[in-house]
Chains A and B, each alone.
Chain A
Amino acid sequence: MNLDFSQIVPYIPFMLKGIWTTIQFVIVSIIVGSILGTVLALFKIGTIKPLRWFADAYTSIFRGTPLILQLMIIYYSVPQLTGYDINAFTSAVLAFGLNSSAYISEIIRAGIQAVDKGQMEAAQALGIPYRAMMKDIILPQALKNILPALMNEFITLTKESAIVSTIGYLDLMRRAQVVGSDLFRNFEPLLFVGLIYWCMVMGLTVLGRMFERRLKLSD
């Protein structure tokens, strides 16, 4: 065993900066994915057939191809097709947001369908319009059902975010590689960022548990 962590010490601030770069793009991707996923889920349970087809086709494409391929296609094809020089951050957010919205839409659809049908009937009987019923009655209850699955998706997204290192986005993973090639030692920086990823996921898990407990107040 030839481990020497002292050599990476000067590089630690450089690697720690990667936490913020990673978090930044994970948060934006989660927001994009959640909004888009909710809309797609509403398409899927709605009665308008073309929208349902669209949502199903969308899901099948984004779930049916590798994430890294989608990322590459967005990063390389946008400049080629439109001449717009898309930066790494935007491509990453697009790829991850679009991809996770496919998964999130399935989670939310199942969550909505698991809400007791009587809730919808009670809302209808009170004359509550569809939009208000969805927003205030059905989705809040669905959220409670889907929170564990949703947290799972966010954790996956956080870890998979390392893929963006392949298009040169300076996230945690990329920074570890940079340090590794600078020192000709890869194990220590990789182990170091590995620990950081684990801490981030633990943080997310604790956050999810807290949120779940708050939602359980009404039980």
Chain B
Amino acid sequence: MINVQNLYKKFGSNLVLNDISATIKQGEVVSIIGPSGSGKSTFLRCLNLLETPTSGTILINGMDLTAKGADLHKSRQQIGMVFQHFHLFPHLTVLENLTYAPVKVKGLKRSDANDKARLLLAKVGLSDKAAAYPSSLSGGQKQRVAIARALAMEPALLLFDEPTSALDPEMVKEVLDVMKDLAKSGMTMVVVTHEMGFAREVADRVIFLDHGSLVEEGAPAAFFDNPQTDRAKAFLEKVL
């Protein structure tokens, strides 16, 4: 489904991603972990071209995102993204946050979009917040709305950029629970996270980045219990 080949990203003379190749299959949940500054978020942001790769190709369902003249809006509609700091639209109600893009971009009828948004809000346990503004929600609630907003576009793939890092500890679980449900429902997910518990329990595969390079990847059990590389060992010793 996603095929990344020889991805490089430079900010000025600073090499942030160094020759990364990876494949993510339909329905797979992949956790990207690594020390801060290792390029995890940049890698994720390259997948929907919020960052333009310096070189390399990204194929999503056979479509080359990096090709010249590629229809960026079209391909981004298939890729949902959940941000660390939510980025809900503060001047719109929760329901409008969920319906704006489906109506405006996909041309859905407003009534259909509303019905669908309510279903999604029920799914993330926030049916009663449809008319509220984002500023009245807690961090965990905001992030659940943000997940519902991304789902409203019916993406084939969901990207999560440290979705629980900006949350108070007691709100982390409610967001992770929603993500676990999604994973069970067969959604393809790429999750940059510091939650090793989540990576171990939910992910099908773990990708470990360090200094912009893909150092190690594998099934979570194997990776966490028996890392092959010294860098992964050193990292896991610090965080586990």
Partners in one complex: yes
Interface residues of A (CB under 8 A from B): 116, 118-119, 121-122, 124-129, 132, 136-137, 140-141, 144, 217-219
14 pairs, A vs B, C-beta closer than 8 Å: A119-B87, A121-B50, A121-B83, A125-B81, A126-B76, A126-B100, A127-B73, A127-B74, A127-B76, A127-B77, A129-B73, A141-B91, A217-B133, A218-B92
Q: Contact between A132 and B83 (Cβ–Cβ < 8 Å)?
A: no
* B residues contacting the other copy or chain, number (CB 8 A): 27
Interface hits, B79-103 → A, CB 8 Å: 79-81, 83, 85, 87-92, 100-101
**Contact A218/B90 with A127-B77, A136-B100, A136-B104 known, Cβ cut-off 8 Å:** yes
**Contact A118/B50 with A126-B76, A127-B153 known, Cβ cut-off 8 Å:** no
Q: Which residues of B contact A218 (CB under 8 A)?
A: 90-92, 133-135
Q: Which residues of A contact B150 (CB under 8 A)?
A: 125-126
Main secondary structure of the interface of A (DSSP, over half): helix
Q: Which residues of A contact B89 (CB under 8 A)?
A: 119, 122, 137, 141
A114 to B89, CA, bound (A): 15
> Which partner residue on chain A sits nearest B90 by CB separation?
A218
B118 is an interface residue with CB less than 8 A from chain A: no
Q: How far, in Å, is A170 (CB) from chain B's closest CB?
A: 42
A118 to B85, CA, bound (A): 8
B42 is an interface residue with CB less than 8 A from chain A: no
Q: How far, in Å, is B63 (CB) from chain A's closest CB?
A: 14
Main secondary structure of the interface of B (DSSP, over half): mixed
B70 is an interface residue with CB less than 8 A from chain A: no
A71 to B134, CA, bound (A): 47
Q: Which residues of A contact B79 (CB under 8 A)?
A: 125
Interface residues of B (CB under 8 A from A): 48, 50, 73-74, 76-77, 79-81, 83, 85, 87-92, 100-101, 104-105, 133-135, 149-150, 153
B79, B91, B100, B133 pick with most chain A CB within 10 angstroms: B91
Q: Contact between B105 and A124 (Cβ–Cβ < 8 Å)?
A: no
A118, A127, A132, A137 pick with most chain B CB within 10 angstroms: A127
Q: Which residues of A contact B134 (CB under 8 A)?
A: 218
**Contact A122/B90 with A127-B73, A128-B105, A129-B105 known, Cβ cut-off 8 Å:** no
**Contact A126/B105 with A136-B100, A141-B90, A218-B90 known, Cβ cut-off 8 Å:** yes
Closest 4 CB pairs of A and B: A122-B87, A127-B77, A125-B81, A118-B87
Q: How far, in Å, is B41 (CB) from chain A's closest CB?
A: 12
**Contact A127/B87 with A121-B50, A136-B100 known, Cβ cut-off 8 Å:** no
A116 to B149, CA, bound (A): 18
A136 to B89, CA, bound (A): 10
A116, A124, A218 pick with most chain B CB within 10 angstroms: A218
B48, B74, B79, B89 pick with most chain A CB within 10 angstroms: B89
A126, A132, A217 pick with most chain B CB within 10 angstroms: A126
Cβ contact of A126, chosen from B74, B133, B135, B149, cutoff 8 A: B149
Q: How far, in Å, is A214 (CB) from chain B's closest CB?
A: 11
> Which partner residue on chain B sits nearest A125 by CB separation?
B81
Q: Contact between B85 and A127 (Cβ–Cβ < 8 Å)?
A: no
Q: Which residues of A contact B87 (CB under 8 A)?
A: 116, 118-119, 121-122
